[in-house]
Structure formats: structure tokens, C-alpha cells
Structure 1
Amino acid sequence: MSRTLFTLLLACCLAVGAFSARGHAAPRPAPQADRQAPRPAAGSAPTDAVDGRSALSERAPRSTDSLRPQQSKAAPRALAAATCTVSDFTTRTGSALVATIKGASVDCVNSLFPLTGSDAYGAFREAQMVTVANALRDVSASYPGDNSGSATQLVLYLRAGYYAQWYHPADVGPYGSALQTAIRGALDAFFGSAHSRDVTDANGQTLSEAVTLIDSAAENARYLSVVKRLLSGYNSSYNASWYMLAAVNNTYTVLWRGHQNADFVTAVQNDGSVLTTLDAFATANNALLGGDLGYLVSNAGRELGRFLQHSALQPTVRPLVKHLLDQSTMTGRTAALWVGAAEMTAEYDAANCAYYGTCDLANRLKAAVLTVSYTCSPSIRIVAQQMSATELADSCTSLRNQDAYFHGVVRDSGPVAGDTNTAIEVDVFDSSADYQTYAGAIFGIDTNNGGMYLEGNPAAAGNQPRFVAYEAEWVRPAFQIWNLNHEYTHYLDGRFDMYGDFNAGQAQPAVWWIEGFAEYVSYSYRGVTYTDAQTQAGRHTYALSTLFDTTYDNADSTRIYNWGYLAVRYMLQSHRADVDAVLAKYRAGDWTGARTYLKSTVGTRYDADFNSWLTACSAGNCDSAPQAPECTGADARQLGKDCRRSNLAATTGNYSYLYVYIPAGTARLTVTSAGGTGNADLYYNGSTWATTGAYTARSTGSGNGETLTITNPPAGYNYISLYAQAGFSGASVTTSF
């Protein structure tokens, strides 16, 4: 990811995208998209389950959310149920293996995707897969249109085997002609059975998995007839079943990945009826656009347009794509179809953009959609699809005040060397649907998430870092930019803590800090209890030393976000000196040194204490942001380094006066007020008592939550006050430098 961070999203899409050199993603509010077949495009990196990182320059079809729990490729060995263990599948062969699979739950079989090493070999070597494929063939001969014969488990087991073999071929071993023959027999039998055509939820459960298995087995060309059958047969009766809708949508995965196979391209060249089927499907179902099922139509347009990459097919595909563009528009109800098809013309037939009307696509879309521009400060600008003046002002206040909180936590001394990212652009779409429709075409990013921070190259002149986000429409009438503070933390962290670009930092595992700290600041700064993390703490799943090994490739979203937060919070609260030592190395780009410190100097020393801390956290000790200790000076007005004065109060129009002694050479003083009742404004003066008539900096928001950051404060006594705009009590002021 470059520093490209993105947030996980509500209405599902499996999207693989290329984007700039540093990108981070925050967690999305719904389950991850269904695990798709394990064949990334030739020459590309495997897609990460959490943030969709890949070398691909295009995005895959949107997918409905999986109803099955997701596991990462490095998930723990414990499976879905107490009776479901790896050895059930690795130590049995022949009919005993088949019986075990049939007797297992769907969740249990789904848990096998992450197997590696000897377990993957035991479960998925070619002889095992041939046995299971033949069993699916036999079950399909009398398939009744439901899972009474455990066809779903057999299909899913085969998918898991192909998945494991793709990502870990040395563990599983090669697959050859024996398996190809067996899987063709199995799929021929299943799709040839009369009940595989039933439009029912019972059939859809197996059918949706079987369609994806086509791609897992790289049999995309052989089963184009199934793709056409599902697209041509779709009607409103399918809408009553999530599984039947998934079966239809999974045909787009068969098409999307089929382009990697020469036999697939040849098959379409010999019989182009799948092209006209896509056009007919999108045209006949245009009314779905703008609704919950619009993705079925926009995916049809996108996958039709993807065939433009083959010069032999362009004479056929061009007029069909133009036909879809002509029946849709850049904005409004049909925008998802227009944008999806237009993206493909820009990707594969840009020289003919005038024919399609898609020239200068990204800039035209941005100008048409992101029409609101608002300058928050010299370092922050919001560009939005639709935001009111109040929403803009409130969002700006949240971002500006976060600066001081951030610097108070990390205690940096300024930007890392060579970082020129002095101003961020926050691009906000009006909803998750608008984000999915437009963000990929405008910014070239994956949208299977809840927003993305694009750092770019921080050393390049004119580089523009940006956070691409959307309004959380599900909390309306309240207004919220989803993951606003998480993603803004990535910007600040990249500028003040992480040397160079994101790829440099990934030379050694640093995700525990990158994502865990973004979660920590987001929740702690807003004073929100992170209930998901507290729940995870009670499960005691990981040792602290294990969390230092987290990467985007070996972890699921729970480990990356929930457990990253727990690791960061524990280290900041319990071992601040170690955090400072690691950050010093991150800021210098000494990734190996930071890794050595975490794995050798820290090592496993804190694992037992962390485990005890998790118990307290799950019991409620993580309900609020950690607080600095009370200052210990004899004068109750005296503040100090990294401490607070609590229970401050004043009546309306009066002050609570404070002061702090600042050593020479201090680069930054952060002052934060919080808590209590009433409305206290924060004032600062570097030379005399701070009042409303004598101050050099102030923060005057509503309530008592105020922050100030003073750069290069004068040595000696500095003065701070809380002014009672309305009488207040129970407030606190914290200083850090």
C-alpha cells in the first residue's frame, strides 16, 4: 500500500486496485466481502483480505457480503466448532474423508481456507482433491436442489483446496490432469442436474459456491454457458434469495478472472454471445440502478467493457459499450453503470475516448461530483459532494483539534526528514454508494473499504496527500464522515513518525503501530469506548509479542484493527519509554532497528503482563482515553511535563489560572482541556497571565474539550487559563512537551 489506508465498507464489493505509493485503510462497518477464487492476475501480488492491495490496475466486480465468518490466511488453527479440527481432514482419505466433509458444518469447511504447511498438504494434495471432486460428481447425479447431500460442503472444500494451493503451492504440491478431469466431471454433473436451475434459497447456497468454483479451478472458458444461463435467466424471483443473487453476481468473477486464460479469450472470440448477453442483461435490468441491486447491472457494464482489452474483440465490444453509456449518465440514478463502463474505456480503449464520450474521465467526474470546496486551515482543505456549512465547520474543528492531541501522544519534534506533505485534501462523497461509484474512477483506488488515505510520495515536490472518504448514511440524520479521525491520524503519523513512503516501512512488520495507533487516536481523541476491542481483549487470542509480527498479509481485520489498538494502548500506558525508542527508529527510517528492538529488547518480556491487562481491559478499564497522571507540584496552579490538573472550576466570566515551566529548546508545547460541565475556553500567553484580553493563542469551542499547540514556546514560565464562558466545574488541563 503506499500510505493508502482504507476503511471497510457496507455494501460489499470485492475490488482490487492500484493506487499511489502509500495508502492506509480503516475498518469498514460491515463484514468483509466473500473470499473469491484464489487466482490474482498474472504477475500481480495476491490481494490482501483487509485492504485489497494489489498490483492490478483495475477493480473487480462488486460482491454481496459473505454470510460466512471470514478468516485470514494466517488465522489460528482452532476451527469453527469444538468438534471441527484440522486432523479430521488431514488424516483421512477416500470415503472416510468424504464422510468427514459431508458431516462437517459449512462454517467448519470454510475454516480450512487458511491451512498451510503439512496441514495444507494433508487436506488438499491432489489425491485428496480428486477424491472430493469425484464425490461431488456422485452427489450431483441425484442433486435434489438443496444441501441434504452436503454438496455445499464438498464444493467449498474444493474451493479451499484451490485457494491453499494457489497461495502455498510448495505446501500443497502441484495439481495436474487427474484433478482437471475430476473437477470437470464434478462441475459437468452439477450444472447438468435439473435442480441446479431451481430459483430457491436452498439451491442458491450450493449454486453460488459452485459458480465461484468454476474460477477457482480455472475452468472459466468451459462454463461460459453457465454464465449466460444465469444472466439470461435472472428475473425478479431471484430477489427473494440472497444466495441466488450471489450466484448471478459470481458470474462476473468468472468473467473478470477469465481474461488471464488464453482458452477463455479464444472461446469468446469463437462465440461472442456472452458479450451480447451482458449488454442485454444491463439493458433489461436498467431499472435496478439506483437501488440495492444496482450492482448487478453496473457489474455487467464493467465486465462487458473489460473485453475491450482484446483487440480482436473490440469491433464487437465497442458499440455494445457505447450502447450502455448512451442509456446512462455520469450522475444520477444510472451513474454506476455509466462510470463502470467508462472506466473500462479509459483503461483499454483510451485512444477512442471521443467515440464513447469519456475523454479526461477522472477530471470530468471530479468536477461534476465533488463540487464543494472549503478551506479549513492552511493545512486542511475539504472537497465534498454535498456538505452543509455546519457540517464543514464541525468536521474542520474535529480535524484541527486532533493535531494537538496527536502531538501530545507521540511527542514528536516536527516532521520527519524529507516529508513535504504540508496540506491534506479530504475528499468526501455523499454516501458509501457514491464512494463506490466514483472514487475508483477519480482516484484509481479500491473501494471495498470505508475510505482511503493516499499519501503519495511525501518527498516529491507538489505531491498532494488526500483522504478519500464518505458520509456514513446509516447514521442519518446525524452527520458523520466515516473514519474521519482514523484516516487523518494516518496523515499525521506518516508526516511526523514514519520516514519515507509506506513501502519503505513495510520492509519490516509495522502494522501493529500503523493501524493500531490510528484506531487508538480515533477512539481516544473522541472519547469513544472501543467495544469491539474490549470484546476481543476478553478472548486473549494473541500474545503481545505475536502482535508485533502483524502484517497486512498474515492477519484478518480483527487482528489488524482491534488487536492493533490493544497493543498500542497497552504499550503507551505501560511502557512509554519503549514506544519512544521504537518511534525514534521509525522516524529515522531504521525499520530493521525498530524490528530488532521489538523482537529482542522487548521480546516476550511483557506477554504475561499484557495478558493480565487484557482481563482488566475487557472488564471496563479501557472504557475511556488513558489520562496523564496528576501534576505533583505543591502549587495547585503548577502544570508540568506530561501531567494534568483536575477538578478545575470557575463561575461565569471568571478564570482558573495555571502555569508551566518550559525548558530551553522545547520544540512544541501541547495544552489540552477536557471533562466536566459548563463551557470553558482555553487561553495561552508566553509571558504573562493569559486572559481574554491578553493571549497569544486560544481555543474557544463549545464545551470543555479544547486543544492548543505552541511551536517553540519561550523558555521559562508560560501561562494558561480556562475562562468560564459559562460556569464550569470538573474540568482538567494537561500539558505535554
Structure 2
Amino acid sequence: MLGAAVVMTLGLFAPQSQAFAGAAAGDPAQAAAPGTTASRAIPVPKSPHAISANPRFRLSSQDTDEETGPRPAPATAAAKTSKSGKLLAGAAGDACSDLSGVINNTGTALVTALKTLPQITCTYPLFGLTGQDARNTFREDKMVTVANALRDASAAYNGTNGNQIGQLVLFLRAGYYVQDNNAATVGDYGTALDGAAKGALDAFFAAPRSKDVTDANGAILNEVVTLIDSTQTAGRYASVLKWLLGSYVSSWPGQMNLSMQHVEWVVDNAFAAKDDGRGFRAALKADPTILDTWAGFITRNGASLNRDDVVSNVGRFLGHALDVPELKERLRPLLKDIINRYPNVGPTAPITMNLGWATRQFDRGNCAAYAICDLGDRVLPLVLPTQHVCNDGIKIRAQDMSPDQLATTCTSLINQDAYFHRIIGDKGAIAGDVNTNLEVVAFDDYTQYALYAWAIYNIDVDNGGMYEEGNPAVPGNQARFIAHEASWIRPTFEIWNLNHEYTHYLDGRYNMYGDFEAGMVTPTIWWVEGIAENISYGYKGERNADAIAEAAKNTYKLSDLFDTVYGQEADPEVNSNRVYRWGWLAVRYMLQKHPSDVQAVLGKYRAGDWTGARTLLKQTIGTRYDADFATWLATDCATNDCGTLPDAPAGPSETAPLCTAADTRQFDQNCRRDGLAATTGNYSYHFVYLPAGVKQLTLTATGGTGNADLYYGGATWATTSAYQAKSTNAGNGETLTIDNPPAGWVFFSLAAAQDFSGVSLSTQVK
């Protein structure tokens, strides 16, 4: 799970990642969003930029139980090696001595070497030790020695670092950190250290001055609180956490405030520990008044809620106690009060929305107990006020997009439609598919998406967005792409994965029969994600450097990639690599080398013949292309960036002969005209003479850019207000079939819903 307090550009805390995976029966707040039915839900990968761009962004330790190192030392204070080869404690410049005594000594000499360091920051380089130095420094017997020294020193603790107690604490913290990352090198830690560490912490917290509300004590206390997390003893020291929660006020000095901030790490990891390995859940059951103190911590400091605050960050974890069944009854009124006490938008949203999420995650079906069954409806108009229609097929709902950004997004999607059909071909929409309209939802950034999308749209937010097809056979169904802006590249504007997800919409409408679940009865992910990656990169003219780098590794056979499914590999990163990068490679190879096979497989997909498609892939093709795929990876990808996407095999509009009439408006009975164009609101008018007895006239438009809609007027000119039939898809892929048309001149036109050019239009008479 991704940590809920994800701080991004606006500094808002986002709800926990597994916000909601499915609706619970009888809970209105967990029903599908209006206009949706059974979901075809495809998650979007999180952007690595969204994680790394902001230095305050931290993955929750629910993703990893790795202990967190100290705040970075000043850049001028990096560890240095002297001419004699000694490791220098450079965190405080020349004021720090070398650390060779800490690395090489044991027993009393080790403790003396630590206490000789003039200040706490001199220990910072210890967190970076590796190899034999890490082994020499942090093996268990030395950790026990320092833990016992901390126990003894704590008896005389006076609320300051006068006796260098902080250096002992930081040594232990560094040891746990380095061992966690280099266990094979450092060696295991066992019961001896476990007992010594508990003895040291017991002694420190027993010292009366450990509760001094001063910067001097806070400088030590904040590190000791983190040591609770390092030693995985949250349950044992629940009373300490209760004291911190019950005593904290926003006027605490900075170092004491930091102690409160570090409580987040402790409770975050404590709730995430499997089988209550840290004893925290048992401690809460033994003393449930901790919950009242925790709630009071929030309400007492309500005036401090400001998006980026310790109260929201620590307070949100109160909701996780709902995962302890024995605590539900006590928690429900506390959470109801907090969630409804403060607004769900603005500075107080991080606490109210996170706690709201927790009620659904851990107490599903009980939204009424918290008075939040209508939470999504409440926040929708406040969070997503902008509504914009691109054309009949695309509309946008946004949190904050300028008119220029809206127009740019519309143009990108409309033009992509033509590109998609150029690569795939255009055989019309799947029979019975009524997903004629896509809604693009754009939150301002990832944090806003994670904060609100789970409540409004009932989706998991541990991703970079979600495409929901719904049931394309149900009239009124709303296909929807729920996304967020790529805030890390501002001032450049971009909706993260917009073109990838729009390809899913087009693919679902033109290639994949039924809803998403129908297409998952056999492995189709190689195509679903592979074509989305290919169209997205190809349309934007971008080089897929990551996939090209993967090609050099020759990790998978093509026949194995036909078996790709979500969650196939144990490592999520490896699985994502297989799904997206290797999907891109597999589809690109097949489109280049075996386009007829692709069309054959798509023919099965369009008919919902999943078993037939599987037979084509695994038996007819089987392993026949594996050797050539490996050669292609090693040659085309190494020297030509895996080549380019070829156009689809020619369809009727491309194979028909060019029209011969001098009047460019006039068509023969079976011919085509290329390069047609018109500006927004105008027309490209045409007509054809039909003899008596024609059974069927087919008009087909393809290719080009922009958005041209096709209208048929019969014996009169065809316009958007006077017509007998129309085809108004997004882009230029339009087809009309007129049965038993009248004899004589009949008229049709391309109407420019948006400037279009380069369109081909053909007639076919039967």
C-alpha cells in the first residue's frame, strides 16, 4: 500500500493507495459512479517522476519495512577519507573526528569512541557503511554493547545531550538501518540485542527528563522515537505514543515537533506488520483509551490543520485501528465526529478524506454509521468544477484546466483517433458497442487524484489513473478515464498517460468485444497494453527508450509474451516491465513482421472468440516466430530503435480506384478521393449518380487529421441540420451503409466538427 500522506505540489495528503477495490452490497457510497455499470477497469502505472520529483515525497513503510535513515546532513558535510585512509565524520566539517575507533573498537573502547564524537551529526556517515566496514561496525555484539551503554546513561539523562547519549542512540539507529539493507554482510540480530534494546528504551523513557518539552530534549527524543520503529516495539511503548498524542500542541518547539512527526513511522509500520508482529494492535485492545487520546490529538489541534501538518499526517492512521474488530464500536463515533467536523476540501481535506477512506477500507457497508454515504456526491462539484465538451465523442471534467489546456487536450485526442485507425485499420465499432462517448477526468496532480478519486469514482488509487469502460452494451453507459496532470513537468502541461488510456478506449470500442472481464478469459494483455504503448509513443513521436533497452536483454520469447497477464511476476516492478515494455515490443514486432496474423487475431477479438484467438496465438503461431523475434530484438531494436509502426493493411477506402470526374465533388460508383479538407463548421460536399436497382451504397471516410463527420442527404444536400443518416465518431473513421438508395443523384458530405485535412472518402455500390 502506498502511504496516505503523499505530499505533492499542493502539499495535500493522499488517502491510502488501496482505496477501494469493490463495492460492498447495500452501501450506497460504494456503488458505481452515475452512468457506469460493471467496470472494465485498467489501472495506469504510477509515474516514477511523481515519486522522485518532490524530495518530501516518501513511500510509506507499508511498502517496505526498511528503517528510515536520518535527515540528510548538510551537503558540505559528507563523509571523507583522510590521507591515512581513516573514515572522517564529516557531517559537521572539521569539528568531527574520524570514525575508525567506532568501526574497529569493541566494548568500553567503542562506547568511548562514540562519546568522543563532539556532536550527534558526526554519526551520520555510519548510515552509509557497506561491506566489511558495515560488518565490523554493526555486528550484534557491538550493538548490544552500545544498547547497554544507552541503558546505563539513561539513568542520569538530564534532558540534554550533555553526556553524549544522542551519539549512542544514532549508532543503534544506524546499525538497524544498515543491517536491514545488508543483512547477509552484517549478520543476523537475535534475542541478545532484542533484550538489550528494550532495556535501553525502558531506561530512557523511565527518565523523568525524557518528557521535557524543549528543543534540547526533542533533539534526542525524536531519534529515540524512531528507534521504537527500528526495534519494532510499538506495542511495548504504546504508552509513550499515548503521552505524545495527549500532550502535543502546535506550539511545541521544532525538535519536539519532529518527535511527533516520527510517530507516523512508528504507527505506519505497526499497523502494516503481519500478524501484529510489533504488538501494537494488542496494545490498543489492552488500552482502548489510546483511541480517545488520538482523536483528541486531532480535535485539540484542529486549528493547525493546514494540508502539510503533523496532525493530519499522524492523525490519519487512527482510521487504521478499524482493522482491529474489537475496536470498531469504540472508533465509529470518534471517526464520524472528525470526518464531519471539518470540511472535505481545503486545508482539512487530508484528515477527513483519509479517515473517510479508512471507514470504507476497514468497515465496508457501514457508511451510514459515519454519515458519509454521499461523500462522493458532496465533493464532486467542488473538486471537479470544470466541464468542457470537445465533440460528440469526448468531454472533459477537470479540477483546474485553462481554456488553452482544454483545447490542446481535445485536439490531441481527436487527432489520435485518426492515427489509431491508420495503424489498426477501420472495420467500424464492435457490434452492440454503445460507448460512443468518453469522459476524461483530470485532477490537478497525483495527490488530488488519490485524495478524492476513490470517493467520487469508487476506484483504487494506487496507480497513475484508471480507465473504466463499464459495460459497452448498456445504453447510457459512460466510459471514463480518471487521471491527473503530470505536475512534475510544469509549466509544461500534460495529463499523465492520456494517449495511452485513450487507446484503451479506442481498442475497447473497435477491437475487443464486450467488457474488460470478457476479454480476460484468455490472456490478451500482450495486445491490450502493448497496443496502448505503441499508439501512445508512436502518436507523440517519442522514443520508447526503456523498452528498447529491455530488447537488448532478450528476456522473453514471443510465445511466452502471448501468455502475459496482470500480476504474473512476483515482483511488481518485473511484472510492470513485462506488461508494458515487453508488450510494446511484442506488438511492435507483430505489426511490422506479421500484420496479417495481427488482423486474424483481431478478427477473433472483435467477435469475442477468445478461444479462437488463443488457438491462433499458441498453436497456429506457437513458437514459429520466437527465433525471428530474438533476431529482431538484437538487430532492429539495437540499430533502428525497433523500427516504425506500419500503416494497417489497406481497407476498402484505400483500395478503391481514384475518382475520375473533373468536378472534385463528384464520385463514380466505386472510387475514392484523397486529401479532403475543411475548416471547423464548413463542409466538403459530394454527390454520386446511382442507376436504378442499387441495393446498397457504402460511404467510408478514413485517415487524415482533425475530426470530419459523415452525413448522407439522399436527393438533397447533406448538412448537420438536414440529413437522412450520419456517422459522427471522434476522428475521421466514419462509415455509412444506405440500403436501397434512390436512383439518380444522391448527396453526402464531410462536416468539419474540427478542422480536418488529408481525409480519404470512398463509395462502394452493390
CA shift digits 1:24-51 (9 cap, x unpaired)? 12232217989xxxxxxxxxxxxxxxxx
Q: Is the 8 A contact 1:14 1:60 kept in 2?
A: no
Which of these two proteins has the greater Rg computed from alpha carbons?
A: 2
Aligned to 2:732: 708
Alignment of 1:476-495 (within 5 A): 476-495=490-509
CA shift digits 1:554-609 (9 cap, x unpaired)? 24322222221122112112211121222223233333433333233323332333
Q: Is the 8 A contact 2:519 2:610 kept in 1?
A: yes
CA shift digits 1:41-67 (9 cap, x unpaired)? xxxxxxxxxxxxxxxxxx999879999
Aligned to 2:436: 422
Aligned to 1:468: 482
Residues 599 and 33 (structure 1), Cα distance of their counterparts in 2 relative to 1, 3 Å cut: farther
Aligned to 1:672: 703
SS in 1 for 2:604: helix
Match of 1:141 among 134, 140, 144: 144
AA partner of residue 556 (structure 1) = N
Q: Is the 8 A contact 2:438 2:478 kept in 1?
A: yes
Q: Distance in 1 between matches of 2:428 and 2:709?
A: 23
Match of 1:551 among 565, 584, 607: 565
Q: Distance in 2 between matches of 1:250 and 1:213?
A: 10
Alpha-carbon deviation of 1:537?
3.0
Residues 570 and 373 (structure 1), Cα distance of their counterparts in 2 relative to 1, 3 Å cut: same
SS in 2 for 1:358: coil
Q: Distance in 2 between matches of 1:535 and 1:437?
A: 35
Residues 698 and 415 (structure 1), Cα distance of their counterparts in 2 relative to 1, 3 Å cut: closer
Matched, 1:515 2:535: no
Unaligned runs of 5+ residues in structure 2 are 1-5, 23-37, 53-58, 69-127, 147-167, 206-216, 662-671, 679-683, 689-693, 740-745
Q: Distance in 2 between matches of 1:354 and 1:685?
A: 51
AA partner of residue 23 (structure 1) = A
Question: Identity across aligned pairs (percent)?
Answer: 39
SS in 2 for 1:383: strand
Alignment of 1:718-729 (within 5 A): none
Aligned to 1:603: 622
Residues 410 and 319 (structure 1), Cα distance of their counterparts in 2 relative to 1, 3 Å cut: same
AA partner of residue 180 (structure 2) = V
Residues 376 and 687 (structure 1), Cα distance of their counterparts in 2 relative to 1, 3 Å cut: closer
CA shift digits 1:592-651 (9 cap, x unpaired)? 43333323332333233333333433444458654569999998999xxxxx9999999x
Alpha-carbon deviation of 1:452?
0.6
Residues 22 and 433 (structure 1), Cα distance of their counterparts in 2 relative to 1, 3 Å cut: same
Aligned to 1:564: 583
Residues 343 and 485 (structure 1), Cα distance of their counterparts in 2 relative to 1, 3 Å cut: same
Match of 2:21 among 18, 21, 36: 18
Q: Is the 8 A contact 2:21 2:460 kept in 1?
A: yes
Q: Distance in 2 between matches of 1:681 and 1:380?
A: 12
Residues 634 and 434 (structure 1), Cα distance of their counterparts in 2 relative to 1, 3 Å cut: closer
Matched, 1:398 2:398: no
Q: Is the 8 A contact 2:423 2:646 kept in 1?
A: no
Aligned to 2:517: 503
Q: Is the 8 A contact 1:25 1:487 kept in 2?
A: no
SS in 1 for 2:48: coil
Alpha-carbon deviation of 1:711?
0.9
Matched, 1:584 2:609: no
AA partner of residue 375 (structure 1) = V
Q: Distance in 2 between matches of 1:266 and 1:428?
A: 42
Residues 314 and 709 (structure 1), Cα distance of their counterparts in 2 relative to 1, 3 Å cut: closer
SS in 2 for 1:708: coil
Q: Over aligned residues, Cα RMSD in angstroms?
A: 6.0
Q: Is the 8 A contact 2:291 2:318 kept in 1?
A: yes
Aligned to 2:79: none
Aligned to 1:616: 636
Q: Is the 8 A contact 1:412 1:497 kept in 2?
A: no
Match of 2:423 among 406, 409, 414: 409
Residues 710 and 464 (structure 1), Cα distance of their counterparts in 2 relative to 1, 3 Å cut: closer
Q: Is the 8 A contact 1:137 1:187 kept in 2?
A: no
CA shift digits 1:363-419 (9 cap, x unpaired)? 111132222222333333322222233332332232233333323333353444554
Alpha-carbon deviation of 1:9?
12
Matched, 1:268 2:284: yes
AA partner of residue 339 (structure 1) = M
SS in 2 for 1:333: helix
Alpha-carbon deviation of 1:468?
0.9
AA partner of residue 46 (structure 2) = R
Q: Is the 8 A contact 1:370 1:429 kept in 2?
A: yes
Aligned to 1:87: none
Alpha-carbon deviation of 1:273?
5.2
Provide the aligned length of Structure 1 versus Structure 2: 590
Q: Is the 8 A contact 1:510 1:551 kept in 2?
A: yes
Match of 1:377 among 373, 391, 397: 391
CA shift digits 1:424-448 (9 cap, x unpaired)? 3222212222111111122222222
Residues 379 and 221 (structure 1), Cα distance of their counterparts in 2 relative to 1, 3 Å cut: farther
CA shift digits 1:469-508 (9 cap, x unpaired)? 1122223333222211211221222233223333343333
Alignment of 1:327-406 (within 5 A): 328-345=342-359, 358-406=372-420
Q: Distance in 2 between matches of 1:192 and 1:490?
A: 58
AA partner of residue 580 (structure 2) = Y
Q: Is the 8 A contact 1:14 1:62 kept in 2?
A: no
Q: Is the 8 A contact 1:525 1:625 kept in 2?
A: no
CA shift digits 1:319-348 (9 cap, x unpaired)? 543564466421112212111123344666
AA partner of residue 15 (structure 1) = S
Q: Distance in 1 between matches of 2:328 and 2:504?
A: 42
Q: Distance in 2 between matches of 1:736 and 1:146?
A: 78
Alpha-carbon deviation of 1:547?
2.4
Residues 586 and 338 (structure 1), Cα distance of their counterparts in 2 relative to 1, 3 Å cut: same
Which has the larger displacement, 379-388 or 258-267? 258-267
AA partner of residue 735 (structure 2) = T
SS in 1 for 2:42: strand
CA shift digits 1:277-327 (9 cap, x unpaired)? 644665688788665x55x65453443124346675356434543564466
CA shift digits 1:163-183 (9 cap, x unpaired)? xxxxxxxxxxxxxxxx9xx97
Q: Is the 8 A contact 2:465 2:483 kept in 1?
A: yes
SS in 2 for 1:466: strand
Q: Distance in 1 between matches of 2:129 and 2:180?
A: 10
Alignment of 1:108-123 (within 5 A): none
Q: Distance in 2 between matches of 1:221 and 1:398?
A: 54
Residues 190 and 139 (structure 1), Cα distance of their counterparts in 2 relative to 1, 3 Å cut: farther
SS in 2 for 1:390: helix
Which has the larger displacement, 509-518 or 277-286? 277-286
Q: Is the 8 A contact 1:420 1:460 kept in 2?
A: yes
Residues 382 and 259 (structure 1), Cα distance of their counterparts in 2 relative to 1, 3 Å cut: farther
Q: Distance in 1 between matches of 2:179 and 2:336?
A: 42
TM-score (norm 2): 0.60
CA shift digits 1:177-223 (9 cap, x unpaired)? xx9xx97776555566569999999x999969x94995xxxx98567
